[in-house]
Structure 1
Amino acid sequence: MDIRPIKTEADYDWALQEIAVYFEHEPAEGTEAAARFDVLSALIEYYERRHWSIDSPADPVDVIQFFMEQNGFTQADLARLLGSRSRASEILNRRRRLTMEQVSMLHRSWKIPAQALLPPVSVAA
């Protein structure tokens, strides 16, 4: 697994390029590619928190709701995208978290930055 620490902006740019492929072709759970995605996500999150700390990252549901409001989308539009009215309701009511497949779908279809849809990762400094 080709992974390295992110210590510089060049390392950070490399990591972003490496992870981008997984948003186009989501790896299957339990594969080495899925593990690599998880590790890259954690490394990127850790680097971003240390270098561009934001006190309170946006909640993924807030991001979706803001996007829907700004673009005139309804819960029915989200349900069509996710394939289920109940799933859309569960997500918008915070009873269910987004899966990586749903993050990827929202990123591809609505062009919402995938990182804005990922839950905050707790990394001890």
Structure 2
Amino acid sequence: MEIRPLHNEDDYRSALATVSALVDLDPERGTQAGDELEVLSVLVERYEQEHFPIERPDPIEAIRFRMEQGGMSVADMAPYIGPPNRVYEVLNGTRPLSLTMIRRLHSGLRIPAEVLIGVD
């Protein structure tokens, strides 16, 4: 088992191929193959975080996505945001999310608070 840092795209692709093959084998944890899979997975994840970062979605995009995902209408958002006119104002960007709205959206719809606040 030769494991080394991933310095470039070729190293990354090679590690991905090895991880894929190891996943297909489904090795037991604590075995040589299981340890290799665990270590390579960490290296691949780190490389991806550095080279292919995923930005947090815009808070309004996250709300719209959750609404679409749950088949929710503007009326369904009343417990989280308020009456329909307020929901429309938030979705159109003319009214900011209040702390109360953020808390309700987070606890009720499981939208991460970090996304709703817009913090990295």
TM-score normalised to structure 2 length: 0.51
What is the DSSP-based 3-state SS (H/G/I as helix, E as strand, rest coil) of the residue aligned with 1:74? coil
Change (3 A) 1:107 1:55: closer
What one-letter code is carried by the residue in structure 2 that aligns with 1:88? V
How many residues are paired up?
Answer: 71
Residues 75 and 83, structure 2, Cα contact 8 Å, conserved in 1: no
Shift of 1:54: 4.8
Structure 1 segments of 4+ aligned residues over 2 angstroms from their partners: 51-57, 79-83
Name the aligned partner's letter for residue 61 of structure 1.
I
Pair 1:61-2:36 in alignment? no
Structure showing greater Rg: 2
How many percent identity over aligned positions?
34
Higher relative contact order (CA 8 A, sep 6+): 1
Q: Give unmatched runs, 5+ long, in structure 2.
A: 1-48
Deviation string 1:37-62 (CA, Å, 9 cap, x unpaired) is xxxxxxxxxxxxxx979574311000
Please give the alpha-carbon distance, in whole angstroms, between the structure 2 residues aligned to 1:55 and 1:112.
Answer: 17
TM-score by length of 1: 0.49
Counterpart code for 1:57: R
Q: Which runs of 5+ in 1 are unaligned?
A: 1-50
Decide whether aligned partners of structure 1 residues 56 and 72 sit closer, same or farther in structure 2, where only a CA change above 3 A counts: same
Matches within 5 A, 1:1-125: 54=53, 56-120=55-119
One-letter identity of the residue aligned with 2:110: K
